[in-house]
Amino acid sequence: MPPDTNAVHDPRLDLLAEWLSRGLGLAEWRIAPASADASFRRYFRVSLPDRTLIAMDAPPEREDVGPFVRVAAALAATGVSVPAVLEVDAERGFLLLSDLGSTHYLAALARGGDPAPLYADAAAALLRIQVHGDATALDPYGLALLERELALFPEWFLVRHLGLVLGDDERELLAALSATLVAAALEQPQVFVHRDYHSRNLMVLGAGNPGILDFQDAVRGALTYDLVSLYKDCYVSWPRERVLGWVEDYRLRAQAAGLAVPDAREFVRWFDLAGLQRHLKVLGIFARLWYRDGKSAYLADLPRVLEYVVATSLAYPALAPLARLLETAVQPRFDAAQARAGA
């Protein structure tokens, strides 16, 4: 039965209700929103008399459920916890999945207490994915994709959000920076990369922790990329000393597991440059989500992401041109841009 709501008519929700009732033959069920993400996908919790399931709504003209199904199978083969795909209607863009619960890492971390056990579980699962995950069938996180993502920073954050007019000097600086970050990503071992391995996509489970979500964009890419998503999270941050301790522990475990990792100093350089690449991309994506898609919630996370970028630019002499751009052109305009956007 569809939800009892006075909301604006939702044809996709009607179609989903028809699929659950007629297509799958479910007789007694209730449905409620579970979550949405930065794409056009939506998730609903379907309550049955004996259990709950998750229905994914992915409009086929905008999203393809195929990658989710394929990556779910690849991750499950490594032994980590991902939703089981129970039913598929690719033509209409619906999936029925097992339910991994409603407590994500971000909510658990907000309660306080020692975060170390949660992060230890997440790191162990990530290492399992990198060691045992078959990345050969994944698209490469290579030159074309890296450059396309890095271009989001000037287009949507610098120009659209801050209102900067970029001259030749700024464009040359950004081109050189992009080349540096692309080279740093491609010099690392290329492994199975979730691509958004962070606190909003990790669920707290009683056994087999964590439950892993939102993996459909997985690629074959840099060893430290998912580590950055985990430890330099766009939604929660930790002191640098603690992060470096977690990173070194991971490096030692990865080395023991047979991954090709360098010494501690070089590994941290990989980690920081992968972080800079990710966070420049995210600044552009979060701005685009507001200006193009009308999703304002991500604007509140821009200060944290910008702080990561500033800190990394100051830590490496080769990034001094970026540090100057941030100091002279970005930071003086940032608060006003946030206020204009209503953040």
Write the pLDDT tens digit of every residue in 144-171: 999 999 999 999 999 999 999 999 999 9
Pairing state between β 94-98 and 52-57? antiparallel
Q: What is the pLDDT of residues 3-25, one digit of tens each?
A: 444 456 788 999 999 999 888 88
Q: Phi and psi at residue 191, in whole multiples of 5°?
A: -130, 180
Residue 34, domain extent:
11-98
- Average pLDDT of each block of 10 consecutive residues along the chain (343 residues)? 56 91 86 78 92 94 94 97 96 96 95 95 98 95 97 98 97 98 98 97 96 97 98 97 98 97 98 98 97 94 98 98 98 96 87
Question: Do 224 and 274 touch, CB atoms closer than 8 A?
Answer: yes
- Does any domain span residue 41? yes
Check which CATH number belongs to the domain holding 260 and give it: 3.90.1200.10
Residue 191 and residue 247 share a domain: yes
- Class of residue 162 by CB neighbours under 10 A (exposed 0-12, middle 13-18, buried 19+): buried
Residue 69 and residue 36 share a domain: yes
- Does any domain span residue 204? yes
Tell me which of 78, 98, 118 is where a domain ends: 98
Residue with tokens 């305009």, as numbered in its chain: 333
Check which CATH number belongs to the domain holding 62 and give it: 3.30.200.20
Residue 308 and residue 248 share a domain: yes
Residue 234 and residue 291 share a domain: yes
| Closest alpha carbon to 280 in 110, 119, 148 | 148
Residue 168 and residue 293 share a domain: yes
What pLDDT does residue 6 have? 46
Tally of domains in the chain:
2
- Does any domain span residue 156? yes
Residue 227 and residue 275 share a domain: yes
| Closest alpha carbon to 66 in 140, 16, 137 | 137
Please give the structure tokens belonging to residue 271. 């980690």
Residue 311 and residue 184 share a domain: yes
Distances (CA, A) of 203 to 131, 213, 275: 22, 8, 23
Residue 131 and residue 94 share a domain: no
- Does any domain span residue 201? yes
Tell me which of 65, 98, 131 is where a domain ends: 98
- Does any domain span residue 295? yes
pTM, entire model: 0.93
Residue 79 and residue 197 share a domain: no
- Does any domain span residue 200? yes
Tell me which of 67, 98, 129 is where a domain ends: 98
Alpha helices in the chain (DSSP H): 11-18, 66-76, 105-110, 116-132, 143-150, 152, 168-186, 225-231, 240-256, 264-291, 302-315, 320-325, 331-341
- Does any domain span residue 2? no
| Alpha-carbon span 99 to 83, nearest angstrom | 7
Residue 174 and residue 69 share a domain: no
- Does any domain span residue 172? yes
Residue 171 and residue 131 share a domain: yes
Please give the structure tokens belonging to residue 146. 């890296």
Residue 196 and residue 78 share a domain: no
